[in-house]
A and B are shown apart, each in its own frame.
Chain A
Amino acid sequence: AQSVAQPEDQVNVAEGNPLTVKCTYSVSGNPYLFWYVQYPNRGLQFLLKYITGDNLVKGSYGFEAEFNKSQTSFHLKKPSALVSDSALYFCAVRDRTDSWGKFQFGAGTQVVVTP
């Protein structure tokens, strides 16, 4: 069975410091990998996705993520965090063998960026 793990319930970082949100997965074969962010009282917003090709994917708001096949990880990163990055972040995977591509989500990581 496929699964997604976000090992940290919360990540605290000072504004201007690097931000990393971890995600590991267990899916047969090579999955499609996504990151979404949820700001308070808003829906999930798409940040970036890995489909194929370059392991480093760049997305919205200065975020990037690196696909590491050997470690089955897809960590989200931002070189310099902003207070406005404080939100709930979800990692999601889709099994390439699933005909209709439903998402498997992690439990989410709350990011708190302090001024």
Chain B
Amino acid sequence: EAGVTQFPSHSVIEKGQTVTLRCDPISGHDNLYWYRRVMGKEIKFLLHFVKESKQDESGMPNNRFLAERTGGTYSTLKVQPAELEDSGVYFCASSQPGQGIADTQYFGPGTRLTVL
């Protein structure tokens, strides 16, 4: 079974540009999460999809971030325009409902975003 995949693995852009990150969850997983780790700090929650619906976007930093999950499969996270403080590693995770919030989340390898 394929795991969670993310693309690209690295992205280097200039301040003011736009970047789109993609996440493909494990097939059949309804729950999809986005997290971000800024250098050396804790991994922070950004938002949570159940199928194509946003259930919790309380962690989204501001309106420069837009997440979508068309058709309830893969998800994209767009940053427009990017700022220096957006640099970090963006992780995607997915889970299959079964134990409720005790479900194990399976993480992708992350996308390292550098904004210059």
Contact = CB atoms under 8 A, between A and B. Distances in A.
Interface of A: 4, 32, 34, 36, 41-46, 49, 51, 90, 92, 94, 96, 98-108
B102 A32 contact: yes
Nearest to B101: A101
B77 to A, nearest CB: 16
B102 A100 contact: no
B24 to A, nearest CB: 12
Contacts, number: 65
11 contacts: A43-B6, A44-B43, A46-B104, A46-B105, A94-B102, A100-B48, A100-B56, A101-B102, A102-B45, A106-B42, A108-B42
B42 A43 contact: no
B42 A101 contact: no
A46 B26 CA distance: 15
Nearest to B104: A46
A50 to B, nearest CB: 10
Contacts of A44: 43, 91, 93, 107
Most A CB contacts (10 A, CB to CB) among B43, B100, B103, B109 go to B43
Contacts of B99: 51
A43 B109 contact: yes
Contact of A101 (B35, B59, B100, B107): B100
B98 interface: no
Range of interface residues on B (Cβ < 8 Å)? 20 to 34
A38 B3 CA distance: 15
B107 A102 contact: no
B102 A51 contact: yes
Interface string B33-54: 1010000111111001010000
Contact of B43 (A41, A98, A105): A105
A107 B33 contact: no
A114 to B, nearest CB: 23
B25 interface: no
B102 A43 contact: no
A102 B56 contact: yes
Given A44-B91, A90-B43, A103 B107 contact: no
